[in-house]
């Protein structure tokens, strides 16, 4: 029987150095043979955010060891690798360059195809690591740098339905955490605080909630949290603010998802299998998962989430895109440059900053 393809994935777009080996099984499901992620939390903690130069330096120090570990743990031989896939964008250019160059060098030395991967497509396809997922599907991508609704028509075929016009949801979580006094990276801790708080204590704004289709906005919410955080004195009030903030995010996502459901159905009229994928770092939030699952059940969409450990940045999701492209024989040249900005839907308008008309 013909050996199933084995892909090495490499990720270094922000502050995680990651490498993974995956192989497709007989049912066509990609199996993770190894998935190594080295986080740089300790490097950036004292600065309260990611410092690009330090992140790049840390990637340089670790990328070869992390890749070696991924290959060793997978129990494959180096020469068994059929293709090397590396993140080429979007992200911090100094960080992208490290993984991209390393991936190209690996492919060249092994004499195997090289595949440049869009990090966002990695998130988009991440549920394939444990579910069978057919096109088309509606995608809500919620990460630290992006918040978008997309209709995924096929591999590399995206139609953006809505996007944030200012901050990303993950960014709003991180900024709220900082204002409450939670150490970097605070986003995931908001969920922990919120469990102990009263979600109805503070009333927070929901910008553009009734207009702009399924476009979203979070900047006004951050300003409101800033004001309230100045009056917050004790731990319980911090819990209450975290709970109120998280509830507001849930309400915004529910309202906008309903609009996106309609738009998705409109452009996929012949499709009778409505699937709603929620992916990206914020999809690890259990409350948000539950709320969007409930909504999907009500609206007759099947909700699919990646496993929690595959929501945040990893290289297995990069390898999955590599596998799909390998099967289509879509390979990249070794002169592929890093792309700090690389939208999934290249035709969609840039919708950020002052003067945006919705």
User: Is 46 buried (19+), middle (13-18) or exposed (0-12) by CB count in 10 A?
Assistant: exposed
Kindly tell me which of 30 and 186 has the beta carbon lying closer to ligand KG4. Answer: 186
> Which helix (H) or strand (E) covers residue 188, if one does?
helix 187-195
The rounded distance, in Å, linking the Cα atoms of 87 and 103 is 9
Region binding ligand KG4 by CB under 6 A among candidate stretches 44-52, 105-113, 125-133, 182-190: 182-190
Region binding ligand KG4 by CB under 6 A among candidate stretches 23-31, 153-161, 186-194, 268-276: 186-194
CB of 132 to ligand KG4, least distance (A): 23
36 binds ligand KG4 (CB under 6 A): no
170 binds ligand KG4 (CB under 6 A): yes
Taking CB under 6 A as the criterion, the residue among 281, 322, 338, 343 binding ligand KG4 is 281
Q: Which chain residues interact with Zn ion by CB under 5 A?
A: 143, 313
Region binding ligand KG4 by CB under 6 A among candidate stretches 34-42, 102-110, 147-155, 184-192: 184-192
12 binds ligand KG4 (CB under 6 A): no
Dihedrals phi, psi of 166, to nearest 5 degrees: -145, -105
Hey, which residues does 67 pair with through a beta bridge? Answer: none
Tokens of 244: 């109120």
Binding mask 304-343 toward ligand KG4 (x if CB under 6 A, else -) reads --------xx------------------------------
Separation in Å, CA 65 to CA 37, 52, 68, 102: 11, 21, 5, 12
CB of 281 to ligand KG4, least distance (A): 2
The rounded distance, in Å, linking the Cα atoms of 228 and 231 is 5
CB of 313 to Zn ion, least distance (A): 4
Query: What angle (nearest 5°) sits at the alpha carbon of residue 293, between those of residues 292 and 299?
Result: 85
188 binds ligand KG4 (CB under 6 A): yes
Whether 140 and 127 have beta carbons less than 8 Å apart is answered as no
CB of 198 to ligand KG4, least distance (A): 19
Tokens of 223: 């300003």
Residue 284, contacted partner among ligand KG4, Zn ion, none, CB below 5-8 A by kind: ligand KG4
Query: What angle (nearest 5°) sits at the alpha carbon of residue 47, between those of residues 45 and 49?
Result: 75
Give the sign of the dihedral formed by CA 348, CA 353, CA 355, CA 358: positive
Whether 266 and 217 have beta carbons less than 8 Å apart is answered as no
Taking CB under 6 A as the criterion, the residue among 9, 99, 185, 212 binding ligand KG4 is 185
164 binds ligand KG4 (CB under 6 A): no
145 binds ligand KG4 (CB under 6 A): yes
**Interface with ligand KG4 (CB under 6 A):** 143-145, 170-171, 173-174, 185, 187-188, 190-191, 280-282, 284-285, 312-313
């Amino acid at each position: 029987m013909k050996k199933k393809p084995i892909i090495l994935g490499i990720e270094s777009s922000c502050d995680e150095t990651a490498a993974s080996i995956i192989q497709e099984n007989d049912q066509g499901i990609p199996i993770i043979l190894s998935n190594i992620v080295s986080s740089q939390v300790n490097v950036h903690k004292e600065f309260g955010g990611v410092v690009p130069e330090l992140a790049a330096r840390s990637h340089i120090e670790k990328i070869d060891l992390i890749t070696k570990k991924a290959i060793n743990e997978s129990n494959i031989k180096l020469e068994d690798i059929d293709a090397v896939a590396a993140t080429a964008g979007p992200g911090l250019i100094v960080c992208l360059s490290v993984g991209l160059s390393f991936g190209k060098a690996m492919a060249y030395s092994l004499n195997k195809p090289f595949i440049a991967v869009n990090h966002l497509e990695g998130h988009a396809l991440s549920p394939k690591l444990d579910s069978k997922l057919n096109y088309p599907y509606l995608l809500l991508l919620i990460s630290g740098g992006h918040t978008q609704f997309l209709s995924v028509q096929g591999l590399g075929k995206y139609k953006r339905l809505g996007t944030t016009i200012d901050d990303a949801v993950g960014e709003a979580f991180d900024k709220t955490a900082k204002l409450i006094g939670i150490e970097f990276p605070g986003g995931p801790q908001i969920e922990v605080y919120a469990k102990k708080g009263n979600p109805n204590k503070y009333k927070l704004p929901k910008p553009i909630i009734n207009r702009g289709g399924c476009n979203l906005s979070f900047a006004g919410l951050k300003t409101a949290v800033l004001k309230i955080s100045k009056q917050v004195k004790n731990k319980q009030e911090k819990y209450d603010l975290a709970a109120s903030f998280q509830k507001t995010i849930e309400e915004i996502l529910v309202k906008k998802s309903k609009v996106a459901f309609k738009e998705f159905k409109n452009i996929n009229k012949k499709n009778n299998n409505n699937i709603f994928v929620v992916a990206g770092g914020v999809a690890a939030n259990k409350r948000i998962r539950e709320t969007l699952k409930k909504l999907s059940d009500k609206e007759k969409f099947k909700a699919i989430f990646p496993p929690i450990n595959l929501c945040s940045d990893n290289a297995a999701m990069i390898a999955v895109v590599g596998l799909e492209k390998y099967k289509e024989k879509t390979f990249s040249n070794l002169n592929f440059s890093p792309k700090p900005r690389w939208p999934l839907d290249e035709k969609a308008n840039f919708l950020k900053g002052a003067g945006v008309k919705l």
